[in-house]
A and B are shown apart, each in its own frame.
Chain A
Amino acid sequence: MSYEIKNVWSVLLRLFHWSLVLSIITLVVTGVYINTPWTNTTLEGSVSFPMTNMRYLHFLAGYLFTAAVIVRLFLYIFGNRQERIWDVLPVTPRNIKSLITTLGFYTYISDTHDPRPGHNPLAGMTYIVTVTAAIFQLISGFYMLFPESSFWQPLGNTLFGSQQQGRFIHHLLMWYFILFAFVHVYIVIWNDLRTPEGLISSMFSGKKFKQKNA
């Protein structure tokens, strides 16, 4: 059995992916701290600012997250073939067929695997939902960070109604990202075990392996 190497992910997409990973981990940890500060002290007049530092890290990671989301949106339109949005939207016959095959494959109903260079449509759709959630997440975040800004205030008020509702949605979306990360990691490992085509390493190297004469 011989394989051919295919270049699938651009450097920018890989940077986007790992920026998102780093920022989501940081944002969840610091975000949970900001909502439920698990440290407490009675020390006064110290030089320790746990809440300030956590918030600073949160905002820093928030900007990284925002940059990553903007890069992904850019790649949806201007990326390579695998990265563009039309490659995953289940609107073309090829993608609809692939979606059905993938669902059967994931639920153990069939053993037919659709070897695609890019995302399968199921994964692609999940990522679109995730990027949409990310957009709401960053808008609600900036709405809370700059509550008196003439740009974020009207936008946040229109989308969420009030600061408290924006905060609530920000918190619920955090749970979406935790859930997404968990399921995402599982499915990636599962795929790598069932169809060894270098799925995990492709996010480092940008390359996937395709079976020849398959």
Chain B
Amino acid sequence: MAEQIDNIQTNSGLSRRGFIKSCSVAAAALGLSETMIPKLVEAAESSERPTVIWLHFQECTGCTESLLRGSHPDIGRLILDIISLDYHETVMVPSGHQAEKSLHDSVAKNAGKYILVVEGAIPTADNGNFCKISGRTAMDILADVGPKAAAIIAMGTCASFGGIQAAAPNPTGAKGVRDLISDVPIINISGCPPNPITFLGTVLHYLTFKRLPNCDEMGRPLFAYGRRIHDHCERRAHFDEGRFAEEFGDFGHKNGYCLYKVGCKGPETFSNCPAARFNDVDVWPVSVGHGCVGCTEPNFWDSMTPFYERLPNVAIPGTGIVADADSAGRKILGVAAAAVGIHAAVGIGKSITNKKKDE
């Protein structure tokens, strides 16, 4: 073991201290006891680095951007020490035919053993023609590469649930990996973007225990998506004590009060954001004054917009009116009140005419 550690130090030029730190952060994210850290270290520094193939489909590369900004581990350590990243369109050196060859070779060589990471949704309308890489549709590539993987990590909300691409009316028929592949274990690291710590934690968990971590109903790892943001938010006290920002820039906002009234979706979103935070400087949306937009949840765009209101709008059928639920409710109640008024008036009119007849 000592020899391996020495090798790591000399080969990559990265410190032993930083390496242990990465493993400790991952253990903390996974909720493992510190006695498990040596096991994680052992798994991470084993000479058998797992092959990872990273496919980009209908996406913005934000998930990769987020990964590049990770520091526990940084991208260099991740791809040099922990995994063997055989294909990743953003960071790989080859291009064109060479790139395609490396994908083909790696799939052929490691069939049944590699981890597939998918970033982006898969368009399925019109035979998937909306997204093509080297002449093949995303559907074809996934159908080819996906079933041969040992496990699939759907990186980001798009790959997990379709994300923004799947927002109504979903012209490209965008779908998540889980909707297209069923016979391979799939884990959803949702988020727009997800936290690199969650990704690393999942990979290390897989390396250490040879299986994917426990997941919730939506296939998201429980260690990262098991708890509700609102219940762990640093502004929660302001919520309970009734101190709210009414609009951006007002007194409440400047004083760090609760962002509930400006549409924060923390109460309906599950993620480790308040605990794990981002970019190695301990920030996350709520800490910098913007409400959570609920990006880790399925059907994220349709159910979480408008971002600065609490609830989605409703379209009143047949009227073309799109209103927030409360003004729609008030309108319907108004119509009901008018109907009741007319009904009562008819009744009164009828009893008056009946009386006249009796006379």
Binding site for B on A (CB under 8 A): 35-37, 39-44, 46, 48-52, 108, 144, 147-148, 153-154, 157, 161-168, 171-172, 174-175, 178-179, 182-183, 186, 190, 194
Contacts and interface: CB of A to CB of B under 8 A. Distances in A.
A133 to B, nearest CB: 14
Contacts of A153: 216-217
Nearest to A167: B268
A162 B303 contact: yes
User: For the complex, would chain A's binding face be called helix, strand, loop or mixed by DSSP majority?
Assistant: helix
Interface in B323-359: 325-326, 328-329, 332-333, 336-337, 340, 343-344, 346-347, 350
A35 B242 contact: no
A209 to B, nearest CB: 21
Contacts of A168: 303, 311-312, 325
Contacts of A39: 242
B325 A40 contact: no
Nearest to A32: B326
B228 interface: yes
A164 B302 CA distance: 10
Contacts, number: 118
Contacts of A41: 241-243
Contact of B297 (A48, A162, A194): A162
Interface residues of B, number: 47
A181 B218 CA distance: 37
A164 B304 contact: yes
B294 interface: yes
B132 interface: no
B299 A42 contact: no
B235 interface: no
7 residue pairs, one from A and one from B, having the closest CB atoms: A175-B329, A163-B268, A50-B242, A164-B268, A164-B303, A52-B240, A157-B217
Interface string B259-280: 0110001011110000000000
Given A50-B241, A164-B268, A178-B333, 19 more contacts: A35-B310, A36-B261, A37-B244, A41-B242, A41-B243, A42-B252, A42-B255, A44-B241, A48-B242, A49-B242, A52-B241, A108-B346, A148-B226, A153-B216, A163-B268, A164-B303, A172-B329, A182-B333, A183-B336
Given A49-B240, A164-B268, A171-B311, A182 B337 contact: yes
16 contacts: A39-B242, A42-B251, A108-B347, A144-B267, A148-B226, A157-B218, A162-B298, A163-B267, A165-B299, A167-B267, A168-B311, A168-B325, A175-B333, A179-B336, A182-B337, A183-B340
Contacts of A182: 333, 336-337, 340
Contacts of B255: 42
Contact of B325 (A154, A175, A179, A183): A175
B331 to A, nearest CB: 10
Contacts of B328: 175
Interface of B: 216-218, 226-228, 239-244, 246, 251-252, 255, 260-261, 265, 267-270, 294, 297-299, 303-304, 310-312, 314, 325-326, 328-329, 332-333, 336-337, 340, 343-344, 346-347, 350
A144 B268 CA distance: 8
A167 B329 CA distance: 15
Contact of B326 (A36, A161, A162, A194): A36
A206 to B, nearest CB: 28
A108 B345 CA distance: 11
Contacts of B312: 164, 168
A162 B271 CA distance: 13
A70 to B, nearest CB: 26
Which of B227, B241, B252 has the most CB atoms of chain A within a 10 A radius of its CB?
Answer: B241
A50 B239 CA distance: 9
A147 B218 CA distance: 14
A206 B239 CA distance: 45
B227 A37 contact: no
A163 B244 contact: no
A168 B269 CA distance: 14
B241 A51 contact: yes
A177 to B, nearest CB: 11
Nearest to B310: A35
B325 A172 contact: yes
B261 A37 contact: yes
A20 B228 CA distance: 31
A44 B256 CA distance: 12
A27 B337 CA distance: 22
Given A42-B255, A108-B350, A167-B268, A172 B314 contact: yes
Nearest to A45: B241
B330 to A, nearest CB: 9
Contacts of A37: 242, 244, 260-261
